[in-house]
Structure 1
């Protein structure tokens, strides 16, 4: 169904007050969706429903008198559970937006859009589908206030390496972004094919715990991290933590997928509720195994951006399968055991979920981050960035810990999306040509805004600034 496009001219209200303009969804151009009126409380003459196939969308046509950045909001109803939608501006670049379950008409921030002077299109694409859209609203974005971070590690008596790493991240936050790449082989591909080496190497503790090593798994990721640090790079570890017990190990759910919720019957809430139980003991043994590897890095003077329990709020990993409270409890157990039992002082703790109810607390988090995948979209991921900004009231540095498509540096700056580093996932995400073309990657890595390995040399001693001096934001 195609409805009449909405045409508005945006303006700043008198007396310097930003004007919010609302655009009714039923007046936009509709594709595969229909106008509904049965759910009371909507504005205008109706709302849009459907969103049951991947091609369904609403397109708003908006005229702007100037080129300007605007805050975008969506007024929606979500009676069918938690959903996501996708916003595309002018057919290129955009953001995934979370639409939490609700039976009331609710306004949710949807990031920002940089409108060009003249005609613009804002499209809401289906994504997870099954939600109701009443309207969108736009208001001119206020200039970003200075960040209010304090680069003091949450680890008591953090060593000089961890302190230097957090201080360095703080020094570039808002003026540059560090290029990062998951997996040593993929990082080598970037060096060979793009001509520059990422500043950050992402590696994984996946194959260092008993549920995998007992089945023959081996890893050299700690050795790779040590070698990269010797080159002057920064390392970040995630942990695809295979459940310590209860793996199904079937053809549908083999043992090596044991970090997934649907591959195990391990109940994290039950394990944490029984510190004297066998499953709690297995959790501690796995943490101790990772502590032994972290101690090797600490002894070598290597600080680690440490990102365990990643993507907890998604629920697809067992540590998030029982909701936010067990996930937050496990985070604090992990923090206490590594910090107080094992005496690790080289960790920069990075939380990796966006929803406020999942956040474990400022006292145990140094960085906040998100993992986002949008194929072929090189937009700034501004909605997610702004949600992370709000999560800690702009008191923590923000990272794009996993991405599929690299963000366009020009858009990052235009949208004030000050991600401190990005880390592209491995394999086809970096080298397949679909998520990122070689030509685009070369343009990113040559940008003055993007820092590579050669440009961060001396970061630990505070001398890296001389290598990037004069690089304009």
Structure 2
């Protein structure tokens, strides 16, 4: 088990380091087998593509004996293997008996170059196996049963943990094989269609998610990336109420949405997910109709989408699938690679950060107060112009971080110096042509109008090919 909690990854790792961008393949390349890796590498990759690319995915629901049925259908329809393979841990007795087949397929998919996601429709804790209808959908615990479930060492609490124990050997196999898993238990928890959902507040559904997280972490399953999930329902406050189901940053790696009501997230739901995620990746964990290229461009922060099993063919046309899968924003198997686990952390070089006209990025007046302007200025070798490319994706000077004012995402938002806090406003990704992207906003470090006058306040702006968006990092 790690000496730090999974949620603290965001503060320690928030993104792919600027010095390590070279290992990311963001354009189509020949498929290559993916060897053992780490959850940190996967999380970093999802952070890196946020705002520019999205991984395609397809879920493979029961029967577990045929764990790649829908993935194969996607390939037949599009000519591409999805970049994310989704599987189900099962609830019926015949499917639970096939979990080894599921694990074998997960290892194969990972080796072939796809990310691995697992969902678990769990039966009530006091039932070993069940049918979906009545056993999961429509099943409900009484308030007294819920209190017992969330009370440590009670009968229902022990039964729930015993149910978790049935999955541990299979998840352990994936850990030992170096396969990180995007793990999505207790999904759509803001709606009460299943026994675990529809209970807001600290002692509600979020509490059970945390119990699940802490228990499986205690089993040494440090290969799990925890995917928290809600649905775009009007119940329990709709988009404004999702925070009442959030278990806390230290128990969540990815925040995800299932837009079954509207088919694709409305603007309020997109913003609610970004706000709740606190800079973590966000994803479309279940969709029926494949997102169009225009929809993905309008909401660029989704890290992946996963089409739900039979909806691949019942809710989509071949031409619609092909349009999305062939879009340059969408990454399928063979179009990205991940580094192996155990790599050394990148170096953290320091020095001037230069831009248009050879001018340096400068902290105005060498000030260290939060909110001090960051500007262009003639290079003078001072500490106000010495920037460190930190391993967490931040750029640091005078003990503080280059920050987008007010977590802003609009064109023209100014840059400032601010205490380092691990937020998306302080994350920067170096692209091969010299652009510096802030994934939270999807916009780029920019000198307004190409001005080289000393004191020009820097900003973020849409990507363009003007020289005033070309920057040279310290070597």
Normalised TM-score (structure 2): 0.57
Residues 246 and 264, structure 1, Cα contact 8 Å, conserved in 2 = no
Match of 1:400 in 2: 284
- Structure 2 CA distance for partners of 1:419 and 1:201, relative to 1, 3 Å: same
Out of 64, 79, 84, which is 1:195 matched to? 79
2:332 aligned with 1:452: yes
Distance in 2 of aligned mates of 1:372 and 1:460: 34
Q: Note the 1:22-421 alignment, pairs <5 A.
A: 152=13, 161-183=38-60, 184-207=68-91, 212-213=92-93, 218-219=98-99, 220-245=101-126, 254=131, 257-262=134-139, 269-324=146-201, 325-340=203-218, 342-353=219-230, 355-373=242-260, 381-393=266-278, 395-413=279-297, 415-421=298-304
2:309 aligned with 1:426: yes
The secondary structure found in structure 2 opposite 1:352 is strand
Q: Report deviation, 1:150.
A: 5.3
List 4+ stretches of structure 1 deviating above 6 A.
Answer: 263-267
Distance in 1 of aligned mates of 2:172 and 2:95: 24
Normalised TM-score (structure 1): 0.57
- Structure 2 CA distance for partners of 1:201 and 1:357, relative to 1, 3 Å: same
Distance in 2 of aligned mates of 1:215 and 1:175: 38
Q: Deviations over 1:78-132 (max 9, x none)?
A: xxxxxxxxxxxxxxxxxxxxxxxxxxxxxxxxxxxxxxxxxxxxxxxxxxxxxxx
Distance in 2 of aligned mates of 1:273 and 1:257: 22
- Structure 2 CA distance for partners of 1:426 and 1:366, relative to 1, 3 Å: same
The secondary structure found in structure 1 opposite 2:73 is helix
Instruction: Compare the two structures and name the one with the higher strand fraction.
Output: 1
- Structure 2 CA distance for partners of 1:291 and 1:419, relative to 1, 3 Å: same
- Structure 2 CA distance for partners of 1:150 and 1:172, relative to 1, 3 Å: farther
**Structure 2, unpaired ranges of 5+:** 1-9, 15-35, 61-67, 231-238, 344-430, 434-462, 465-475
Q: Report deviation, 1:266.
A: 9.5
The secondary structure found in structure 2 opposite 1:369 is strand
Distance in 2 of aligned mates of 1:248 and 1:348: 25
The secondary structure found in structure 1 opposite 2:118 is strand
* Greater relative contact order, per chain length (Cα 8 Å cut-off, separation 6+): 2
- Structure 2 CA distance for partners of 1:322 and 1:268, relative to 1, 3 Å: farther
Distance in 1 of aligned mates of 2:52 and 2:129: 47
The secondary structure found in structure 2 opposite 1:312 is coil
Q: Report deviation, 1:397.
A: 0.8
Q: Deviations over 1:265-310 (max 9, x none)?
A: 7965233354333222111111111222110100111000111110
Instruction: Give the alignment's Cα RMSD to 1 decimal.
Output: 3.2
